[in-house]
Structure 1
Amino acid sequence: MDIQRTLFRTVATLAITLLAVHFGLVTLSLTPDNPVNHRHKEAIDAYMDPLFTQNWMLFAPNPVSQHRSLAAQARVVNPRTGAMMETEWVDITDPLVKQKQRNRLSSEALVSRHIISGIRNYRHKDESRHLDGEKMLQRVSSTALAKQWPNRNIHEIRFRIITQAVPSFDQRHRDDDFMQREFQDSDWLPFAPAEEEWPL
């Protein structure tokens, strides 16, 4: 009986400690700049992003004004000629969104957050964050293209971030093509799919 009680107390203490650390880091990430969160900013950001990041742009006065999506393209070897050729662009974001809408508990939600975090980092002015974002999007794009073309010999990939303005309320019924789109293409990068199983 004493062993069970000791084990229960140990597990309870560990769980309470982990929860306290979690909520402490969340609180530090949400509070205004202060000496504590400024000193430990990298550790806090590494823990929070991408799973626990909060985006308050859903609410006024600064609602979301842009939609960003990800597409990818590959350089593959033509099996008949042996020449290198470029594939068409493949939409990565839209299938994930549709799957997530069908099943809110699916693992596609995690990959979607990974893409959002990768795009945010890739567009950041800080060089190390930019490179982190590039690696994240390189991995996602490679994994998606590997699933799209499992029998093709893919050598390189590149991704495209598509930014489209969200129409104002009075123009909400207009066609999507009405809103201007911006494209940001990466350089050609090595093909580097995720080693573990992803839903992509």
Structure 2
Amino acid sequence: MARTWSTPALAVLCGAGVLLLGGTGLFLAALFLQVAPSNALSQRYRGPIDQLVYPEFEQNWKLFAPNPLQQNLSVDARVQTISPTEHVTTRDWVGLTAQDIAAIRDNPAPSHLDQNMLRRAWDFYDSTHSTQDGTVAVAGERGRLAEEYLKRIGLQRLGRTPGGERVLQIQFRLRTAAIAPPSWSAEEAPAAVADRVLPWWPVDETDYQGLG
């Protein structure tokens, strides 16, 4: 026997359905306006939209994002060491990014540090050091903190006494290689690998404090 609903019950169910659909629509519209480019509607209702979205439903992506990164970036480091007989040696470059890639590849649960620490450290450095006319302008205390952060990562990776000798200074290099376009694309072939070599940074005992 089929169940029948009374008129008041149907009215309540229909009303509840309309409210749920309407609320869902308004919520999705608020999310859309929060991630969409600024416009008259989002500016007018910015306060209510932010109250609804933040912090539980914050979006960390952009709806109309630019083209994805079309370059491979890798960070290398090398050190100068001094022997007990005062002989100074410049060591070979060590691929820090290559170490991270090797640790991530074929790993079903890669470490967050392997995936992000070096990349974020370089992004922090790059955002605080503007390059103009071949010179680097350091952005105050944040710039010095970015240098110290990158330096300590490099020292931790390369060790305290490479080859049994004390480290005098450390240097970093960013290698940028454009990703080749697909065969069906009309884009031009990428340029050769470009290097950005940072100056030598002196190293002393304080740089090793707290490093494992």
Structural mapping, 1:119-198, within 5 Å:
119-124=122-127, 125=130, 127=139, 128-146=141-159, 149=162, 151-170=164-183, 179-190=192-203, 192-193=207-208, 195-197=210-212
Structural mapping, 1:33-48, within 5 Å:
none
Structural mapping, 1:36-75, within 5 Å:
61-75=66-80
**Which residue of structure 1 aligns with residue 107 of structure 2?**
103
Q: Is the 8 A contact 1:160 1:186 kept in 2?
A: no
Secondary structure at the aligned position of 1:68 is classed as strand
Q: Is the 8 A contact 2:77 2:95 kept in 1?
A: yes
Secondary structure at the aligned position of 1:137 is classed as helix
CA distance in 2, matches of 1:76, 1:144: 15
Aligned length: 146
CA distance in 2, matches of 1:149, 1:190: 13
AA at the equivalent of 1:100: I
Q: Is the 8 A contact 2:177 2:192 kept in 1?
A: yes
> Unaligned 5+ residue runs, structure 2?
1-30, 48-59, 131-137
CA distance in 1, matches of 2:161, 2:70: 31
Q: Say whether residues 1:94 and 2:107 are aligned partners.
A: no
Secondary structure at the aligned position of 1:74 is classed as strand
AA at the equivalent of 2:126: R
CA distance in 2, matches of 1:180, 1:171: 23
CA distance in 2, matches of 1:151, 1:84: 12
CA distance in 2, matches of 1:179, 1:163: 9
With 158-167 and 143-152 compared, the bigger mean Cα shift is at: 143-152
% same residue: 20
CA distance in 2, matches of 1:193, 1:64: 34
The alignment's C-alpha RMSD in Å is 3.8
Q: Is the 8 A contact 1:74 1:86 kept in 2?
A: yes
**Which residue of structure 2 aligns with residue 114 of structure 1?**
117
AA at the equivalent of 1:120: D
> Unaligned 5+ residue runs, structure 1?
1-26, 37-53
* Bigger-Rg structure (1/2): 2
Q: Is the 8 A contact 1:164 1:180 kept in 2?
A: yes
Secondary structure at the aligned position of 1:195 is classed as coil
Q: Is the 8 A contact 1:71 1:161 kept in 2?
A: yes
